[in-house]
Structure 1
Amino acid sequence: MDANQLLELVKRYQENREFITNEETAKMALVVPFIRLLGYDPNIPREVRLEYAAEFTQGDGKRLPDRMDFAIFDQTGTKPLMVIETKPLGTDLQAKAQQLARYIAQMAELHFGIITDGCHYLFFGDLENPNQMDREPFFSFSLEDTKTDWTKVAKFLTKFSREAFNADTLITDAENSRYRQSMINRLATALKSPAEDEGFMRWLTEEVYKGKRTVAVMNRLGEVAREAIEPALLRVMGDDFLDKLKARIHRLREAGDEPVEGTQNVIKTDAAKPPEEKKEPQSEEKPRAAIETTQEELDLYGLVRDICGKNGINPEEILHRDTANYFNISYRKPTKWFLRLFSSGKRKSVVTWVPAEDAKRLVSGFVVEEAPAAFGASRVYIDNVAQMWALTSLILRSLELSKTSKDEPTAPETAAPNAEPPPAATVS
């Protein structure tokens, strides 16, 4: 299975969802094609059995037949691999998953069940206790979720295919998927409000602060932790991360979807509602700024090239690279930057690799301060780019530091949109 095949299923759903008015239509229009994508043939009873029946023992001891829409077997036709239950489009799937639990409980070799309305697919297993279905799905996806990375979904679903299905490795993969999602949730919570997570703060500060941990001290450290998170994330988000993000956005655009940041393949219980009933909350986030190279930035680049050329440096080796947040000027390759222009804030500034105290000695008549480590070493405020001639010594020194550095500078090539470097944090 590949992403393009899943995108065909997405297209089928989008073109026909207004006509999918009952469970049977959902089965034929979406679930049967999904089963075929996994490599199983619904027309071969050895592999796929419709309305598969097994007896379910009630609390009073009576045994009643219980039917599952699809049961998928191994190539011998004797061992059940997974069962699929279909509900009408818009059903609260989590609330209806108990039927899967009964099947997993009464079939010793069965470990996986899927419940779907044709659009949303929830994967359950017995990862915590054998033949006792977990309360939460270990994986899920939705055909109407524009945030979905279909390449990742296809890669995961391939493990459930006819050719690749292996219960032992799937259990491990399913456990890893659940652990991963739990880690994502915990990390996201901790990074949003570090001071509220006592365990996270204990780990974060154990090698940083050795004194007595009073309430006042922990409140102070919590604020410092909050200020440290953004620079740390920016340092992690290097060129490789950005290249992968750009590739993903390109794939989404080719598929006709709007790129949306973040991918989460576990959907919430209330996500399984019909499109007309689903109310999306109004996002308070501003749209990501488009990268647009301005004439001012090009003028800056031209001035810096002239300054370098007049000081024995080949101007052809001076490069520029624009980002959503600042304009980079580098030597020979983009990661060897030596000057950054921030022009979207209230005041223009340039950032260099020259330490702030040295920068103050190299320029006069300008406001100079230390820059956050995530952006560089020093920041100089300017009124216009023509003033760059007055910063010649600073520019050449920053270029020298960039050229002679054994390692490439570690500051990230991009930053959060619409955010100029914040003042350096201080702790009193």
Structure 2
Amino acid sequence: MDFIDQLRVLSNRIANTKAMVQTEEATKNAMVMPFIQALGYNVFDPLEVTPELVSDIGTKKGEKVDYAILRNDKPIMLFECKKCGGDLSINHASQLFRYFHVTEARFGVLTNGLVYRFFTDLEQPNKMDEKPFFEFNILDFKERDVEELKKFAKSAFDLDAILTTANDLKYTRAIQTKLGELMANPSEEFVRLLSSGLIGARKFTPAIRDQFTGISRRAFEQFIGERINERLKGAMSPESVSVSGKLAATPAEEVSVSDPTIVTTGEEIEGFHTVRAIVRELVPTRRVFMRDAQSYCAILLDDNNRKPICRLRFNNAQKLRLGFFNAQREEEQVVLGSVDDIYNFAEQLRATVASYAANADS
């Protein structure tokens, strides 16, 4: 199984069980240890992964860090764990700070089982930075996040290579944060820059500032949205299908993805990947396709209209609905509180996929 597939399986399991994980110890066992195992380290070999590594640090006696990953008997990565969903502010990383200072480890990881924050010493040698250079969310990750995480895997671990890119990652993260802030609340300096050459000889008065602040915000949002939709359309199948009522032998309505009235939303993309994760144990993810249409977004097996897995009816943002198919191939719709609620219907989705496999074998 590929590394990204291992992470998707772990993500699916954690999403289904996180409500039952109430303590730090349970978080370690159910979330952190499987994560370290996915990186290729043997959590049952104390020569490779040492739990609660103990050391006397100055006047502190018996200090412990939750996990230390070793190479050649020396720690290379330290993990400090908090309970599932717990606060990950740097104020809660005191032990990680102290251990980082007295060991040869160059990476410290602060985690609550859902989010993993990776630290090193970019600012001052042998002193852990207060800001992480990389963050990984097991419930919400992109392929580029997986590529960065893969560098910490046992088979690929290269200290120099990681440190070379750590600085770039740190500043990339900072710039993305700044861009997000400018998008939500454009500064006067930013608005002046964007409006220069547009207002002619007029002075940049408070009224013009307010006018162009709103224009800049809307233009920024539309620009990002259009770029996202262009990339999504390029990745989608050239056709989108809408079928109403019972599952039909042929599509009742076909709509091209290039139709400007069709906008694939972030929630639909999230729902697509959620369904993929749910049925991953039955079929490879490459067999699960997405086709968007005006009335709903179809998730299909083998890109086949006759093999719908479900329909994401997310056009009403206040009332998300999932349509899944019963044994008679009739669509049943349920209301979702959030996209995560799709996991509550994992059994029905798997049963649908299993039925297609059974029919193929018969």
Contact 2:116–2:136 under 8 Å retained in 1: yes
Contact 1:83–1:113 under 8 Å retained in 2: yes
Q: TM-score, normalised by structure 1?
A: 0.51
**Cα pair distance change 1:256/1:135, threshold 3 Å:** same
Contact 2:69–2:76 under 8 Å retained in 1: yes
1:93 and 1:239 map into 2 onto residues whose CA distance is 36
Query: Relative contact order (alpha carbons < 8 A, sep ≥ 6): 1 or 2 greater?
Result: 1
Matching of residue 239 in structure 1 with residue 230 in structure 2: yes
- Residues 156-201 of structure 1: CA distance to partner in whole angstroms, max 9, x if unpaired? 211111121222332343333332232222222222333xx13322
Q: Quick one: which amino acid aligns to residue 191 of structure 1? A: M
The residue that corresponds to 2:101 in the other structure is 105
Long gaps (5+) in structure 2: 237-263, 280-291, 297-314, 316-362
The residue that corresponds to 2:274 in the other structure is 252
2:168 and 2:130 map into 1 onto residues whose CA distance is 16
* Residue of structure 2 aligned with 1:178, choices 158, 166, 170: 170
Deviation (angstroms), 1:209: 4.8
**Cα pair distance change 1:142/1:199, threshold 3 Å:** same
The residue that corresponds to 2:343 in the other structure is none
The residue that corresponds to 2:68 in the other structure is 71
1:37 and 1:136 map into 2 onto residues whose CA distance is 25
- Residues 278-332 of structure 1: CA distance to partner in whole angstroms, max 9, x if unpaired? xxxxxxxxxxx96139xxxxxxxxxxxxxxxxxxxxxxxxxxxxxx9xxxxxxxx
Deviation (angstroms), 1:11: 3.4
Matched residue count:
251
Whichever structure has more strand as a proportion of its residues is 2
1:180 and 1:27 map into 2 onto residues whose CA distance is 30
* Residue of structure 1 aligned with 2:190, choices 191, 200, 210: 200
1:2 and 1:165 map into 2 onto residues whose CA distance is 14
The residue that corresponds to 1:116 in the other structure is 111
**Cα pair distance change 1:167/1:199, threshold 3 Å:** farther
SS in 2 for 1:4: helix
Alignment of 1:206-355 (within 5 A): 206-209=196-199, 211=201, 212-226=203-217, 228-233=219-224, 236-237=227-228, 239-244=230-235, 248-249=269-270, 250-256=272-278, 291-292=294-295
Determine what percentage of the aligned residue pairs are the same residue: 30
Contact 2:70–2:77 under 8 Å retained in 1: yes
Matching of residue 82 in structure 1 with residue 83 in structure 2: no
Contact 1:2–1:151 under 8 Å retained in 2: no
* Residue of structure 2 aligned with 1:93, choices 79, 88, 97: 88
The residue that corresponds to 1:49 in the other structure is 50
- Residues 73-118 of structure 1: CA distance to partner in whole angstroms, max 9, x if unpaired? 22x233x2110122333432324212111112222x3221112233
**Cα pair distance change 1:216/1:23, threshold 3 Å:** closer
- Residues 9-45 of structure 1: CA distance to partner in whole angstroms, max 9, x if unpaired? 2233345445544333332332222111111112333
Deviation (angstroms), 1:142: 4.0
SS in 2 for 1:84: strand
Deviation (angstroms), 1:236: 3.5
Q: Quick one: which amino acid aligns to residue 103 of structure 1? A: Y
SS in 1 for 2:54: strand
2:7 and 2:110 map into 1 onto residues whose CA distance is 18
Contact 2:9–2:277 under 8 Å retained in 1: no
Q: Look at both structures and tell me which one has the larger radius of gyration over its CA atoms.
A: 1
2:102 and 2:192 map into 1 onto residues whose CA distance is 45
The residue that corresponds to 1:135 in the other structure is 130
The residue that corresponds to 1:161 in the other structure is 153
SS in 2 for 1:255: helix
1:18 and 1:213 map into 2 onto residues whose CA distance is 53
The CA RMSD over aligned residues, in Å, is 3.3
1:218 and 1:26 map into 2 onto residues whose CA distance is 50
